[in-house]
Structure 1
């Protein structure tokens, strides 16, 4: 986007709609409301009551038209561009609080997990629960594996296990254990994140430790069987009539196109999943980690914590030359921090691994993120963040070396110090140049990732903010 276009856009005096600015920013939490924001003006444009309970987590559909919000124990889907206060759809089935929700990229399915020890796989073409996966302990988070969006899920639980589920066969394909090697005790896993290419899986919990595994997934066996296709059901958001204000728009045209009449062969796959621990780091010592987020483009991992901070990590997967050897003091190695974060290279994603590009990654002025307008419009409102050198002085981050073929190197880019209470959630902008955080201090904050400065704050919730969703992708 040219400078003239950005300036003209930012100076518009009329009320900017979501369609115009292409930004959807949503927060929710303990006050049982969902708030939509004009991100340029830090103004709440719409408040939706979520009457039944606090909102535990939200997910925006990839086309940013629909918002799924979960509580105890309901799943509700809203039309972002409608003025209705009622959900388009309410799905029931879980017996206790729902911990997490995720859309598939084609918006045909939703995954939810709950404290009732089940994962539910919702078919949005007919409004039914297509699969119920039963776990042994209460579930805390769920992720859909990129490249296998209809096939593989990852879950975490309070028993300290991370399970990769084969959805079609309703079984665990691979199980990992989140274990503090110092005390040889299992600890509850609170947060999961999976890299955009599906090669790295990160988990964190109550001890403040992050573990990262390298995943290698292969299709091991394929069977086929006949399956009758039913073309009688439209998309569920076009079908459900929950109230007089319920929209009749379909969730996606691709969903309709997929429902053809006749029969076809159903492919049933099984998977060979190999995992290798590539990093163990005490990121927030002795404090809960509440959320982990991989960036979409620039090789960052964000951890949110009960210590009132969020940390942005630069990550770099390297091949270990001597995976079975190690020195006596390797368990006390510290992450080194450079003097400036401006020239740190991000990571280029490939299908099977991360590769460090030959040139540093900077935020392109023509990038398709609307938040470039924000940076021109205002100076940072807070200087309460930490520089990298300050972070090194304040935080002695200990990393446990791992004996594996690869090792994930961590480096702190910024320790984000602004919130006055627990930081519960975070969301990156489309180009990973900006980050929004949500906190129990009743606020959300927008950060410039490169500088580590707060450039917007969002105030309006009466109680703590538990979750945030952001989609600012635009082709302008």
Structure 2
């Protein structure tokens, strides 16, 4: 994210940086606010206050081209322009009857996928602003990701299932239940499509190798381990697929290395948050991690040292979601 920027230069954010969208860092909170941050200085550059509106912000996602921010707000999804200053979304997707728990963008930004406690997964067309497709999951959905091939969705749910949804067949084509009915809380797919990671309510993490050979099982289990002794809230693979971050109710974030033979080793425990850690996001170079916590604060961690290098203060209630896009689009 920073390259080799000296510490004093990091603190001296250039005046022009307020219009610099090379790093888009956003947090959402139970105080109903969405905040944009200058990553280097820690200054809040924009607040979407949502005055008079109901509903906490559950999840947020930034489009690959950094133009749009999608926010899962209670039962709806609001889409905002990243470069604008308006508090008003450019489109609102309504139709879920339960809390929206997951939101992610298609690689070309043409559609948005959502998962909800109403047991449905929905695809929304950003061009027409309408619902494109809906899947009945049969159980409250806790997380959804889009496979890098853009042709499959993978979800996890409250009944303990992980499901693969084939967009061409318009159906669920595969289901895993690694620990019976224990709810699966979070999933992550490697950027190169090689691995699937999932974590459950009991703090246990499972890793599968994703196989594209039709003569073999699609998901081949390669590792499982106890990451936390308390509730796991998020698991996330780094962009370079060498690290795995797990967040927990135990106030910690743990950084695990994944070897080519799939051996998993605890590299660091990131300590400093005072309450539950709900969400995390890696920088594009896999060198930094941003986290959001019930202690109202987001933190930027330098993974080589395991230290907090920035703290983002301003939310008045739990900060429960974070999104970061610092990919160089040039």
Residue in 2 that maps onto 1:190: 185
- Determine which of 249, 256, 259 is the counterpart of 1:313: 256
Q: Which runs of 5+ in 1 are unaligned?
A: 180-184, 221-271, 319-407
TM-score with structure 2 setting the length: 0.93
* RMSD (Å) for aligned C-alpha atoms: 2.2
Post-superposition Cα deviations, 1:23-61, rounded to whole Å, max 9, x if no partner, equal 111011110000011111111111102423111100000
The separation in 1 between residues aligned to 2:217 and 2:128, in whole angstroms, is 31
- Determine which of 212, 221, 224 is the counterpart of 1:277: 221
Aligned length: 327
How far 1:473 sits from its partner (Å)? Answer: 2.5
Check whether the contact 2:11–2:41 (CA below 8 A) recurs between aligned residues: no
Please say which structure displays the higher CA radius of gyration.
1
Residue in 2 that maps onto 1:95: 97
Residue in 2 that maps onto 1:36: 36
1:180-329 mapped onto 2 (5 Å cutoff)? 185-218=180-213, 274-285=218-229, 287-297=230-240, 299-318=242-261
How far 1:16 sits from its partner (Å)? Answer: 2.2
How far 1:174 sits from its partner (Å)? Answer: 0.8
Residue in 2 that maps onto 1:59: 61
Residue in 2 that maps onto 1:426: 280
Check whether the contact 1:310–1:415 (CA below 8 A) recurs between aligned residues: yes
TM-score with structure 1 setting the length: 0.65
Which structure has greater helix proportion?
1
The separation in 2 between residues aligned to 1:73 and 1:219, in whole angstroms, is 38
The separation in 1 between residues aligned to 2:221 and 2:207, in whole angstroms, is 6
1:108 aligns with 2:110: yes
The separation in 1 between residues aligned to 2:297 and 2:209, in whole angstroms, is 35
C-alpha spacing 1:195/1:120, structure 2 compared with 1 (3 Å)? same
How far 1:14 sits from its partner (Å)? Answer: 2.5
Displacement over 3 Å in runs of 4+? 1-13
The separation in 2 between residues aligned to 1:316 and 1:43, in whole angstroms, is 37
The separation in 2 between residues aligned to 1:92 and 1:316, in whole angstroms, is 43
Residue in 2 that maps onto 1:14: 15
C-alpha spacing 1:22/1:307, structure 2 compared with 1 (3 Å)? same
Which structure has greater strand proportion?
2
1:121-136 mapped onto 2 (5 Å cutoff)? 121-136=123-138
Post-superposition Cα deviations, 1:428-473, rounded to whole Å, max 9, x if no partner, equal 1110111101100000000001110111101100000000011123
Check whether the contact 2:209–2:220 (CA below 8 A) recurs between aligned residues: yes
The separation in 2 between residues aligned to 1:110 and 1:28, in whole angstroms, is 18
